[in-house]
Amino acid sequence: MMNKILASFALVGGFMLVSCADTPKKQDNDAVRERAKTAYAEIKYEEEGVQKADVKDTESAPTIQISNAKFKTIPTVLVAPALTGKMNASIDVVRKNPLAKTAMEVINAYLTNRDYKVVSLESQAQLDEVVDLQSSIAGNDEDLAYVAGLSVGADINITYSGSIQENDIVIDLNASEASTANLLASESVRMKNDGSESQRVLVQKCMQQAIVGLENKVREKLAAQLDQGVQYKVVAHLTGEFTDDQAEEISNMVSSQIRKKFSKMQVISMSRNTYDLMLTVDPAQYEDAQMVYSVFYEDLKDLAKVRKQNITKKLIILEIQ
């Protein structure tokens, strides 16, 4: 019977815990908070804020000191499968995977209960839009979660996967900055399956331990980052017929004058025709991506025409004509 269960989830040597939700319904944070109470019935909290995971493993589960770092604004977290490229076929598979759904529910419940705003790729239409956006700025080899996080305005991306290896259940989590795709932390948990509990309960307990460990590694970093300002990625393409002198003048305007308008500008790369920039801005001065875009539009209007190609919550793609 166990072999039949494993075979039904077989994907590259094991079942992949890669699900968002079975139906493309918008997530309600209040409802998630209610589910969090149920999902974390096995987790015990001490008065001092110390958490003990009620898990079975080859070694006793460690006692984890919960981070108390405070956020000035509620961070947005994108939770997505640890897959790359076009995952249209995979999304249908994971929607039918009950263990993957359990893993996603545990992550969402924990993060929502810890005062994060959680978003997930739920509908095929939304997924298609993100894949198209990915192809337009990064090609097909980039991590889908990176571009998806930018499109939904995430501050941090969490990707997850899992597998059954002989008698062990293994969970892997990664957290990265949404704006830069830089890896912040990873967490991996392996738990023995001695047959005394169902796979669903074991996956739940394993993921509970993993997400607690991961969040404690990144919470203070994220709080400090958000205190500095809101990050936006700007990709600019020179599409007009500019001379080398004109292109140089536009480049200098961006890297010197426009830079002064924001708290920080980091040049990821800058060639003659393409600028890849990371901006940190004061949210009190620039409320959204459209206001950030207007700075480029106004400051470059004497040198060239600036046109928006695509603007999402944290990603601005523009053309300089």
State pLDDT tens for residues 259-279.
Answer: 999 999 999 889 999 999 999
> Is residue 240 over pLDDT 80?
yes
**Each residue's pLDDT tens digit, 8-39:** 332 333 344 433 333 333 445 555 455 545 54
Confidence (pLDDT) at 3: 33
What's the average model confidence in pLDDT over 168-186? 89
The pTM of this model reads 0.70
Task: Determine the Cα–Cα distance for residues 5 and 167; give it in Å rounded to an integer.
Answer: 13
- Percent of the chain scored above 70 by pLDDT? 66
Nearest in space to 210 (alpha carbons), one of 171, 161, 157, 183: 171
> Is residue 122 over pLDDT 90?
no
Q: What's the mean pLDDT when you consider all of the chain?
A: 75
Confidence (pLDDT) at 127: 57
Nearest in space to 321 (alpha carbons), one of 297, 294, 289: 297
Q: Indicate the pLDDT class of residue 51, thresholds 50, 70 and 90.
A: very low
Residue 212, burial from CB neighbour count under 10 angstroms (0-12, 13-18, 19+): buried
What's the average model confidence in pLDDT over 80-88? 58
Confidence (pLDDT) at 137: 55
What's the average model confidence in pLDDT over 29-51? 45
| Contact call for residues 308 and 293 (beta carbons, < 8 A) | yes
Task: Determine the Cα–Cα distance for residues 149 and 142; give it in Å rounded to an integer.
Answer: 12
Order of strands across the sheet that contains 50-52: 44-45, 50-52, 63-65
Mention every residue, 6+ apart, whose C-beta is less than 8 A from residue 321: 239, 240, 304, 305, 306, 307
What number of other Cβ atoms are within 10 A of residue 167's Cβ? 11
Q: Please write down the HEC assignment for all residues of 136-155.
A: HHCCCCCEHHHHHHHHHCCC
Angstrom distances, CA of residue 223 to CA of 67, 152, 262: 11, 19, 20
The H or E element spanning position 101 is: helix 98-113
> Is residue 209 over pLDDT 50?
yes
5 - beta bridge partners?
none
What's the average model confidence in pLDDT over 115-125? 71
Amino acid at 264: K
Q: How many helices (H) and strands (E) does the chain have?
A: 9, 13
Task: Determine the Cα–Cα distance for residues 74 and 118; give it in Å rounded to an integer.
Answer: 10
Task: Determine the Cα–Cα distance for residues 36 and 113; give it in Å rounded to an integer.
Answer: 7
What's the average model confidence in pLDDT over 206-224? 92
Confidence (pLDDT) at 18: 37
Task: Determine the Cα–Cα distance for residues 275 and 265; give it in Å rounded to an integer.
Answer: 12
**Each residue's pLDDT tens digit, 127-165:** 566 656 655 555 544 555 666 677 778 889 898 888 888
Confidence (pLDDT) at 12: 32
What's the average model confidence in pLDDT over 317-321? 92
Domains and CATH numbers, the chain: 2-227 (no CATH), 229-320 (3.30.1370)
- Percent of the chain scored above 90 by pLDDT? 36
Confidence (pLDDT) at 252: 94
Torsion of CA 151, 310, 86, 231, to 10 degrees: -30
Confidence (pLDDT) at 313: 83
